[in-house]
Structure 1
Amino acid sequence: MSDTTSITVERTIPASSKELFDILTNPHRHEDLDTSGFVRGIEHGDRLNEVGQVFTMNMNGDHMGGDYQTDNVVSALDDNRMVGWKTAPAGTKPPGWEWLWMLDSQGSDSTDVRLTYDWGDVDDQDLLEKVGFPLVTEDQLEESLGKLASVASGE
């Protein structure tokens, strides 16, 4: 489902919410979940364990002129239920877009996962035009859910 400033996708994944949370809070696994082609690997970052924590990713995209880095500030964290971060070009404050993963346990081996990409707080018109939101499509977000399922199953 999408509106003009966010896209949300959902899927039930045959894994525990704890297992999925462990994957999502490990920045070293984010490249495994990326379907945009932008993520090139982690520059630095520990397991996500508190709001305000920062991890830096190596990226590449024409919208930024090639190679660049992002600082990602943890904006939401609730054990086995939710993790989110706001992304910014490295060394800057987040300009208003966020990735939010919600996990709703359906038992010991099944979790409803909802992924939201929200750029509703971006108010810099030049940035909106430069980046061309949404930079990641609904199909790519759905593919990320598929990759999360594959990672969780050990594929």
Structure 2
Amino acid sequence: MLVPFQDLPANSRLWIYQSDRKFSEDELLKLQEALNSFLNDWTAHGASLNAGFEIKYDRFIVIGLDQSASAASGCSIDSQVRFIQQIEKEFEVVLLDKMNVTYIQNDRVHFKPLADFKKMAKEGAVGKKTIVFNNLVNTKEEYLEFWEVPAIESWHSRFFK
């Protein structure tokens, strides 16, 4: 069952999918419609899942699940991945490739392959204080506190040693 993202408890499980580009205004409307439909019907072993979403910076799809009523199962997670694959095809974007980094520089969101980001760190084009998006957060609470952080405070720190 679809619930407003802000109403999900802090311990809700989270999945973050970063796009290799911003979604257009028209795409955002279609994407919200698709997410509404998918999450409203999302189940685990026949039980409704209380889930919500938000789209940040017109490029991150953030799905949260309140597991206090029903937890996600392998099958329900598989259906979420299939849904995201459909979104990738429909909008011609990359959402599932984890070998990319998104960061903020000069008040703009940038997207780079991991190898390019690593090279930029070595060359000093990005620094320890560069704000990165740590998509490895697992809960809504972690997302709110540790998603947008200086590179030195995330797994990206290994590129600055």
TM range (shorter): 0.3 to 0.5
Larger RCO: 1 or 2 (CA < 8 Å, sep 6+) = 1
TM, length-normalised to structure 2: 0.35
Greater percentage in helix: 2
More strand by share: 1
TM-score relative to the length of structure 1: 0.36
Rg larger for: 2
